């Protein structure tokens, strides 16, 4: 298992999902999880968690076989990205080629040692760390006894591909999100190229939704027979209800305030709903590059006492919001899964989610709209606000959908997939 | 006669708490009393108390020849009483010297002149009442919040029986004329004293700036400049933040010594200290200062843009004044007070998104990390306040 984020060292949904999957799989298989950085406190049955940061010396003996650089050398045009979820994925200028790799045709084995150092999972050095992670992980695991390589998202794909080259073991590539979702990138983009390479080399590609599978097929030209979508799950939680301290109905947006999540559509929807149904309040929880422009737009539309920005919120505050909410809206432009909608469903909040999302495939009780269709989104919200019986039915359905979405289900489907690979 | 007015603005706002969505409906305390108390006490120690002691000493020493003027906001006076400080009595001591004039202004340091004439008048009346209560004086010269001024405001001020106005000498309105004369607005006749921007800011902003070519500024040099600049029968008005003394410029910069030396240097050059109400008696109106658009002393624009420019400031100001009819209707003292304190111009100043040098000044005064935070918290407070108002008005 090759992972990047892993709780408690986590910055987004990837870590939550990697842990959820790993934990549920302990029932079926033995796992060795290699991470760039791990918390020593983490303990799971049947599972060894290795953080490269904790190893004082790492040996790199063999020539790196995967050509990840030359084919894309011409595309390194733009400035280095700080956050791979916020900017384009081109390889930063000045990146170091490891010494073992530069000699090309030489077959002489070199050995070098150095500890893996990483502070933040995502910063200006992320690309270099991804390459270091691949070199060192490949060397670390090449003599181990294992059956399957399972790699999560682009940061670990280079390692996954290299290990497959060296060991001949089958590779499962798990796609939680694609560069295409994050930035709309298709070419001249190093991350996009790594993703394409990883999915091409993989024996199976496991996208977190049919929606993401369709992007892998249409945009990355991955053959359909290799795509095996498996939905994420959600940890069981007993929802609670907190009384609101104000009379208005509460409508929520939770997510990063970036174009991918469609916050500007939410703001437009809020404005129109307020005009037709003034007894409402809106909360936009999260932060991102659109934070300031959204605030200014809200002020321009004179919504400041009805549209509340909270900035980044911790788990307990998010839960508190969900416990008060009357409607949850997720207008994402492109959302591979959309865990936060599932969390809202768990709290019995009626959900309105964009059709361009993975979670819409399992939230059968939710209303779905195209992210750009502000008019339908407004009508859907008004429908829920005006009809209490309908809202109650939606809430029940949401709870049921969430109850069925377990990590156990996810793990069982992955284990079935593993079996077909090992038999072969 | 050549004369000069030395005026000090003393103001402290009620700073608001960071107030989040989760406070809405739960918490009706909006003011950050800890910060307000801490700041008042710190400024008292650095500025108000030592500066008052110095002014008292100077008035006694020159036996009436040294005179100066205070502009004291209601929110400042209230806090100095509320937090049980010796600040108020220290001001009362200086005022007892009979060399001090106190100006008229809006009690809450608000922009009501621009948004609501009736509220404007109410705040001037309230301020007059408290100045009389604390100091036994009745102000006759008006200075608006941040010297905000236009012809219409002047007309209204005259209608309230006030005798003169102190405002900013703005280059675009002076059009090359000097600001050392008395002016009048175009429609109404009321004496206007214009703040001398350059000399005032030499003390207020540049005094401790080592890059400035005038640095270090001595009282002798400064008096020489003024002597050179003042012609026969001219009057010059200096108007600065009182916090300039000891707070904006620490005592180590020599600001107290500068002020201490200044009266002697000025008087020895046959320039008289006159307070504004005395200046309008001793000098005649000479020209028209036609403010058909609104001016102020703030930033390089010298207009309303420090408080009323970007969409956040516009919404916040328009929102708070949109509550006026409801507030007037329900006639509840506590609501009226909360609402009035929310009008203080500082809240909108914190929301300014201006860049460059002016932005730094805004940020220096702001309790919030960004203008966006200032806006978010302010609007959450107004949202809660509005809920409380509606609850009350239904009962």
Task: Say which residues have a Cβ less than 8 Å from residue A201's Cβ, sequence separation at least 6.
Answer: A160, A161, A164, A171
d(CA B129, CA A138): 82
Window from A23-37, A107-121, A197-211, B288-302 with minimum mean pLDDT: A107-121
* pLDDT, tens digit, 9 for 90 and up, residues B254-276: 999 999 999 999 999 999 999 99
Question: What is the pLDDT, as a whole number, of residue A117?
Answer: 75
All domains of chain A in start order, with CATH = 13-233+408-423 (3.40.50.2000), 249-404 (3.40.50.2000)
Edge-first strand order for the sheet with A149-152 is A149-152, A171-175, A204-207
Contact check, Cβ <8 Å, B383/A308: yes
What does the buried/exposed string (b/e) look like for A210-244 if buried means 16 or more CB atoms within 10 Å of the residue's CB?
A: ebbbebbbebbebeeebbbbbbbbbeeeebeeeeb
What Cα–Cα distance (Å) separates residue A320 from each residue in A311, A323, A325, A334? 15, 5, 9, 27
Rounded to the nearest angstrom, the minimum Cα separation between A311 and chain B is 9
Sign of CA dihedral A91, A92, A97, A102: positive
B185 phi, psi to nearest 5 deg: -65, 170
Rounded to the nearest angstrom, the minimum Cα separation between A292 and chain B is 7
CB contacts of B319 in chain A (<8 Å) are 302, 304-305
Percent share of chain A, pLDDT over 70:
86
Check whether A377 has a pLDDT greater than 90: yes
Task: Say which residues have a Cβ less than 8 Å from residue A133's Cβ, sequence separation at least 6.
Answer: A36, A52, A116, A155, A156, A158, A159
Residue B168 has which token pair? Answer: 């900013």
Rounded to the nearest angstrom, the minimum Cα separation between A14 and chain B is 28
- Range A85-98 average pLDDT: 46
Check whether A71 has a pLDDT greater than 60: no
- Of the candidates B59, B62, B51, the one whose C-alpha atom is nearest the C-alpha of residue B90 is B51
Question: What is the pLDDT, as a whole number, of residue B269?
Answer: 97
CB contacts of A282 in chain B (<8 Å) are none
d(CA B363, CA B349): 9
The H-assigned helical ranges of B64-174 are 74-82, 87-95, 112-115, 117-135, 151-159, 171-174
Contact check, Cβ <8 Å, B376/A292: no
Check whether B381 has a pLDDT greater than 80: yes
Question: What is the pLDDT, as a whole number, of residue A383?
Answer: 97
d(CA A112, CA A64): 13
Contact check, Cβ <8 Å, A308/B24: yes
* pLDDT, tens digit, 9 for 90 and up, residues A320-337: 999 999 999 999 999 999
- Of the candidates A98, A214, A116, the one whose C-alpha atom is nearest the C-alpha of residue A162 is A98
- Of the candidates B92, B97, B94, B91, the one whose C-alpha atom is nearest the C-alpha of residue B64 is B97
CB contacts of A244 in chain B (<8 Å) are 25
Check whether A413 has a pLDDT greater than 70: yes
Choose the closest CB to A245 out of B24, B372, B379.
B24
Contact check, Cβ <8 Å, B25/A296: no
The DSSP 8-state label assigned to residue A357 in this structure reads: B
Window from A84-93, B109-118, B314-323, B377-386 with minimum mean pLDDT: A84-93
* pLDDT, tens digit, 9 for 90 and up, residues A117-155: 777 788 877 888 898 899 889 989 988 999 999 999 999
Question: What is the pLDDT, as a whole number, of residue B92?
Answer: 97
Check whether A167 has a pLDDT greater than 90: yes
Q: Cite the beta strand spans of B11-125 per DSSP E.
A: 68-72, 100-102
Contact check, Cβ <8 Å, A302/B386: no
**Disruptive mutation site among B21, B318, B377, B394 for chain A (greatest number of A CBs within 10 Å):** B21
Residue of A nearest to B318 (CA): A302
CB contacts of B372 in chain A (<8 Å) are 291-292, 295, 309
Contact check, Cβ <8 Å, A320/B22: yes
The DSSP 8-state label assigned to residue A98 in this structure reads: P
Question: What is the pLDDT, as a whole number, of residue A113?
Answer: 61
Neighbours of B10 (CB within 10 A): 21
Contact check, Cβ <8 Å, A304/B316: yes
**Disruptive mutation site among A304, A313, A321, A322 for chain B (greatest number of B CBs within 10 Å):** A304
* pLDDT, tens digit, 9 for 90 and up, residues A186-207: 777 889 999 999 999 999 999 9
Choose the closest CB to A317 out of B22, B25, B314.
B22
Catalytic sites of B, residue numbers: 146
- Of the candidates B126, B372, B348, the one whose C-alpha atom is nearest the C-alpha of residue A311 is B372
Contact check, Cβ <8 Å, A296/B380: no
Tokens 């409801």, residue located: B326
What Cα–Cα distance (Å) separates residue B83 from each residue in A329, A399, B13, B365, B386? 47, 53, 14, 21, 28
d(CA A285, CA A329): 12
Helix axes B311-322, A291-300, angle to 10 degrees: 40
A406 phi, psi to nearest 5 deg: -105, 155
- Range B100-116 average pLDDT: 97
* pLDDT, tens digit, 9 for 90 and up, residues B8-64: 999 999 999 999 999 999 999 999 999 999 999 999 999 999 999 999 999 999 999
Helix axes A388-404, A374-386, angle to 10 degrees: 110
Question: What is the pLDDT, as a whole number, of residue A190?
Answer: 87
């Amino acid at each position: 298992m090759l992972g990047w984020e892993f709780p408690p060292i986590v910055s987004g949904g990837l870590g939550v999902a990697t842990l959820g999957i790993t934990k549920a799989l302990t029932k079926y298989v033995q796992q060795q999880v290699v991470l760039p950085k791990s918390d020593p406190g983490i303990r799971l049955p049947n599972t060894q968690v290795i953080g490269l940061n904790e190893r004082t010396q790492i040996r790199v003996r063999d020539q790196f076989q995967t050509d990840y650089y030359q084919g894309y050398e011409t595309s390194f045009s733009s400035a280095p990205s700080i956050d791979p979820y916020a900017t384009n994925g081109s390889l930063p200028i000045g990146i170091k080629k490891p010494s073992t790799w530069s000699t090309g045709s030489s077959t002489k084995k070199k050995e070098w040692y150095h500890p893996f150092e990483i502070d933040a999972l995502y910063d200006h050095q992320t690309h270099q760390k991804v390459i270091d992670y691949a070199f060192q992980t490949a060397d670390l695991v090449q003599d181990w006894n294992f059956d399957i390589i399972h790699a999560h998202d682009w940061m670990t794909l280079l390692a996954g591909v290299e290990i497959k080259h060296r060991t001949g073991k089958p590779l499962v590539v798990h796609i939680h999100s694609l560069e295409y979702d994050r930035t709309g990138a298709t070419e001249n983009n190093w991350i996009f190229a790594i993703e394409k390479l990883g999915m091409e080399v993989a024996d199976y590609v496991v996208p977190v939704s049919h929606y993401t599978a369709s992007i892998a097929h249409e945009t990355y030209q991955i053959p359909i027979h290799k795509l095996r979508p498996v939905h994420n799950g959600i940890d069981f939680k007993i929802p609670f209800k907190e009384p609101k301290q104000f009379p208005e109905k509460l409508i929520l947006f939770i997510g990063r305030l970036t174009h991918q999540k469609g916050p500007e559509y939410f703001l437009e929807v809020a404005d129109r709903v307020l005009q037709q149904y003034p007894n409402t309040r809106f909360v936009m929880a999260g932060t991102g590059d659109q934070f300031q422009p959204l605030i200014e737009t809200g002020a321009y539309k004179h919504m400041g006492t009805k549209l509340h920005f909270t900035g980044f919120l911790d788990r307990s505050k998010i839960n508190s919001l969900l416990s008060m909410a009357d409607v949850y809206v997720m207008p994402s432009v492109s959302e591979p899964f959309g865990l936060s909608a599932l969390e809202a469903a768990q709290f019995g909040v009626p959900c309105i989610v964009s059709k361009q999302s993975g979670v819409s495939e399992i939230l059968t009780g939710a209303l779905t709209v195209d992210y750009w269709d502000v008019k339908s989104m407004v009508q859907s919200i008004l429908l829920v606000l005006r009809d209490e019986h309908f809202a109650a039915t939606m809430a029940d359905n949401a709870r049921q959908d969430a109850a069925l979405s377990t990590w156990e289900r996810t793990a069982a489907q992955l284990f079935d997939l593993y079996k077909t690979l090992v038999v072969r | 006669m050549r004369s000069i007015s030395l005026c000090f603005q003393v103001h402290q706002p009620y700073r608001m708490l960071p107030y989040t969505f989760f406070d809405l409906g739960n918490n009706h305390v909006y003011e950050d009393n800890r910060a307000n108390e801490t700041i008042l006490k710190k400024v008292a120690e650095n500025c108000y108390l030592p500066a008052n002691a110095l002014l008292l000493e100077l008035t006694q020493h020159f036996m009436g020849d040294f005179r100066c003027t205070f502009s004291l906001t209601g929110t400042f006076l209230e806090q100095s009483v509320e937090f049980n400080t010796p600040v108020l009595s220290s001001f009362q001591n200086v005022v007892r010297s009979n060399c001090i004039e106190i100006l008229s202004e809006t009690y809450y340091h608000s922009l009501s002149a621009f948004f609501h004439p009736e509220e404007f008048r109410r705040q001037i009346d309230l301020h007059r009442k408290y100045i009389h209560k604390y100091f036994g004086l009745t102000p006759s010269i008006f200075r608006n919040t941040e010297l905000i001024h236009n012809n219409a405001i002047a007309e209204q001020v005259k209608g309230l029986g006030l005798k003169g106005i102190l405002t900013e000498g703005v280059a675009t309105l002076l059009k090359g004329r000097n600001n050392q004369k008395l002016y009048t607005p175009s429609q109404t006749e009321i004496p206007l004293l214009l703040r001398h921007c350059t000399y005032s800011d030499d003390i207020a902003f540049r005094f401790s700036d080592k890059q400035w070519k005038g640095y270090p500024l001595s009282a002798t040099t400064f008096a020489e400049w003024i002597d050179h600049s003042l012609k026969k029968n001219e009057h010059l008005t200096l108007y600065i933040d009182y916090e300039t003394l000891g707070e904006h410029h620490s005592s180590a910069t020599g600001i107290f010594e500068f002020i201490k030396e200044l009266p002697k240097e000025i008087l020895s050059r046959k320039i008289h200290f006159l307070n504004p109400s005395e200046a309008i008696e001793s000098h005649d109106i000479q020209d028209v200062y036609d403010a058909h658009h609104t001016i102020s002393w703030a930033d390089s624009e010298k207009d309303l843009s420090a408080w009323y420019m970007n969409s956040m400031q516009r919404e916040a100001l328009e929102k708070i004044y949109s509550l006026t009819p409801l507030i007037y209707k329900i006639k509840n003292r506590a609501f009226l007070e909360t609402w009035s304190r929310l009008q203080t111009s500082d809240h909108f100043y914190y929301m300014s998104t201006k860049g460059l040098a002016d932005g730094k000044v805004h940020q220096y005064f702001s309790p919030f990390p960004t203008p966006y935070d200032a806006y978010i918290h302010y609007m959450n407070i107004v949202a809660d306040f509005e809920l409380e108002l509606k609850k009350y008005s239904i009962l």
